[in-house]
Structure 1
Amino acid sequence: MILTQCAVCATDLGLSLGKKCGRCSTRYCGPACQKQHWKEGGHDQLCKKIKKAGGAEQYNANTKYTEAVAVAAEACADDTKGQTCYICTQALHWKTKEGLVRGCACRGTAGFAHVSCLAEQAKILCDEAEENNLGTKAFNERWRRWDTCSLCEQMYFGVVRCALGWACWKTYVGRPETDQLRCLAMGQLAGGLFAAKKYEDALPVQEADLSLSRRHGEQERSILVVQGNLAGTYYALGRMQDALRLRRDVYFGNLRVVGEEDRETLSAGINYATSLKGLQRFEEAKSLLRKQIPVARRKLGESHDLMLSMRSIYAKVLYQDPAATHDDLREAVTTLEEVGPIARRVLGGAHPLAVGIEETLQTARATLRGRA
């Protein structure tokens, strides 16, 4: 359940408090708010419509999806002008009339698509894997279509990722609470909201995801992923100590469960180091990253997005440390000068990581000049 607040007064209801409309499952903190919503809030006119759409959760998902698609298409309008969808070959979607998007690493005339077409493609692929029992590896590869471009193999970002998150959630929200795809879809929605910097919206989704994962007895590795995502939102919302505590647990949990070379461990290490940096614990952050960088280089190579992130964070730790020496600052600038061109080549100049590396490089250079 993603609707975790009273529809009238916005009281936090968690996953189980309060009551629901008997017809459409809209949630309330109690009878008073339910009565007020019926008499004054227009629920008497909407109740049948919400029920027909599949209930309050499905209706909310459908509405938010439509809004997110419009935002994504508008944000991509200049980039997509004069282009056509590589899936349906049309400029405007034949049914929804939505515009095109492109929020990945594709360049030139590649990668333009409608969110509806991307979602339909992902659903078809996942349905085939599920119906034909293709196995975990095949299913995971197909599930990536919900957040990763099939052409450039890079994850979508920003408002495009957010629209796909809502597309995924509205596709599977009607399934039972314990259904695997519904649980995965909740994670996709949380990731999309985070990618669009909607941190306040992402927080209750991630908290619900973690609560359900624990209640349903998910494997520890899966729970660590959800905890890591929640920690990222804590950090974005300025809850630094909460983020550090959870990120430390996630990092050492992954070390124990999957080992130092696993992608999840490397990603968790980046996040843990970021929290250490945010709390000005620079020596601890440098020590951690100096252990991880050789592992990431051996396992992933220089052009992997995790490797680029790791080296970028390391450079920030170096130049933001008040005790940084001239050699530290020079190393920070050199590191960013090395990873910047790789990020632009692999991810494209508009990707948040590539943009962030360039901005960090300018700041590091200014810091170095100031120490000259």
Structure 2
Amino acid sequence: MILTKCAACATELGLSLGKKCGRCSTRYCGPECQVQHWKEGGHDQLCKPIKKAGGAEQYNANKKYAEAVTVAAEACAEDTKGQTCYICTQALHWKTKEGLVRGCSCRGTAGFAHVSCLAEQAKILVAEAEENNSDDSQWHRWNTCSLCEQEYHGVVVCALGWACWKTYLGRLEADELRIGALSLLGNGLSDAGHNEDALPVREAELAMRRRLGASEENILVVQSNLAITYGELGDLERALSMEQEVYSGRLKLNGEDHEETLIAASNYATSLVRLQRFGEAKSLLRKIMPVARRVLGESHQLTLTMRWNYAMVLYKDASATLGDLREAVETFEEIERTSRRVFGGAHPNTRGIEVALQEAREALRAREAPSASV
């Protein structure tokens, strides 16, 4: 359940407060709002269509999915002009008339597709794996390009998140596909910058997993995602506290060489940087960067993120030396080339590194200018 507000007054209801329409399950904070919504809010006209669609949650998911597809196609319109879908080979989807998207690391004429086609492909592959009791669930096809094998990002993965949620939300609460769909939706909303919408999804997933007795591994994953959302919404102290808890849990559960531990350490370092606790961040990053390079390699996205944060610490710290600033610029230049080669120039990480590189260069020039004039 991700509809957590009263449909009439938008009061936050959490997962269990309030009441529901007996016909379509639309949620309200009380009978007064329900009556007002029926008489003045148009629910008398919408109740039957909502019920026909499968209830309030399904109706909302279908609507949000359609909106997200439109946004994704419009955002990708310039890049996809004159191209065709690699799945159905059409420019416009035969049924929905939606445009094309490309939100991965494919380049040239590769990787163009309709969100509907990507969703249908993922749905079929997951169903086949489920029917065959395969260990390879093909779940990654909901968020990973089958051509370049890089995860989708931005508004494209947001649209796929809504596609996944609307596909599986009707299953039982404990069904792994339903739980996974909720997680993917939260990831998609966050990646598209819709963190206020992602927050109730994250909190709902954590509450649900705890209620179902999920493993420590699964709880740590959800806590990590929730902490990131707190950080994006400006609740930095709460984010830091949870990131520290997750990192400690990962060290105990997986050890320092495990990729999940490195992810937790990187997220913890990011929270320290945001709070300008540069000394602690620098100490942590110096400890984990060599491990990431050894375990994951120089070109891995996580390694690049750690080095990005380290360079940020070097040039943003008020006590930074001239040598620190030069090292920051050199680091940014190196990881920008690597990110461009691995992910392409349009990837959000590449663009973010480019902006940080410009800022670091300006800081270096400002520091060198007085010396040059002496």
The question of a shared fold, defined as TM-score above 0.5 by the shorter chain, is answered with yes
Superposition CA RMSD, Å: 0.8
Mapping for residues 122-201 of structure 1, pairs under 5 Å: 122-135=122-135, 138-139=136-137, 142-201=138-197
State the match for 2:366 in structure 1: 370
Whether 1:314 and 2:310 are equivalent positions in the alignment is: yes
State the match for 1:74 in structure 2: 74
Among 352, 355, 361, the residue aligned to 1:356: 352
Letter in 2 for 1:4: T
Mapping for residues 246-325 of structure 1, pairs under 5 Å: 246-325=242-321
User: TM-score of the superposition, structure 2-length normalised?
Assistant: 0.97
State the match for 1:339 in structure 2: 335
Whether 1:202 and 2:198 are equivalent positions in the alignment is: yes
User: TM-score of the superposition, structure 1-length normalised?
Assistant: 0.98
C-alpha distance in structure 2 between counterparts of 1:185 and 1:8, whole Å: 27
State the match for 2:371 in structure 1: none
C-alpha distance in structure 1 between counterparts of 2:245 and 2:325, whole Å: 31
C-alpha distance in structure 1 between counterparts of 2:348 and 2:124, whole Å: 30
C-alpha distance in structure 2 between counterparts of 1:172 and 1:44, whole Å: 28
State the match for 2:83 in structure 1: 83
C-alpha distance in structure 2 between counterparts of 1:172 and 1:191, whole Å: 16
Identity %, equivalent residues: 71
SS of equivalent to 2:151: coil
C-alpha distance in structure 2 between counterparts of 1:93 and 1:18, whole Å: 41
Encode CA deviations 1:92-121: one digit per residue, 9 max, x unaligned: 111111000001111000000000000011
Encode CA deviations 1:224-248: one digit per residue, 9 max, x unaligned: 1111111111111111100100011
C-alpha distance in structure 1 between counterparts of 2:148 and 2:335, whole Å: 19
Letter in 1 for 2:161: G
State the match for 2:219 in structure 1: 223
**Pairwise CA distance, 1:87:** 0.6
Mean Cα displacement is larger for which, 260-269 or 79-88?
Answer: 260-269
Q: How many residues align?
A: 368
C-alpha distance in structure 2 between counterparts of 1:368 and 1:127, whole Å: 55
Mean Cα displacement is larger for which, 264-273 or 200-209?
Answer: 264-273
Specify every segment of 5 or more residues in structure 1 that has no aligned partner in the other structure, as ranges. none
Encode CA deviations 1:324-344: one digit per residue, 9 max, x unaligned: 111111111111111111101
State the match for 2:96 in structure 1: 96
C-alpha distance in structure 2 between counterparts of 1:178 and 1:125, whole Å: 21
Q: List 4+ stretches of structure 1 deviating above 2 A.
A: none
**Pairwise CA distance, 1:261:** 2.0
C-alpha distance in structure 2 between counterparts of 1:112 and 1:261, whole Å: 37
C-alpha distance in structure 2 between counterparts of 1:89 and 1:262, whole Å: 41
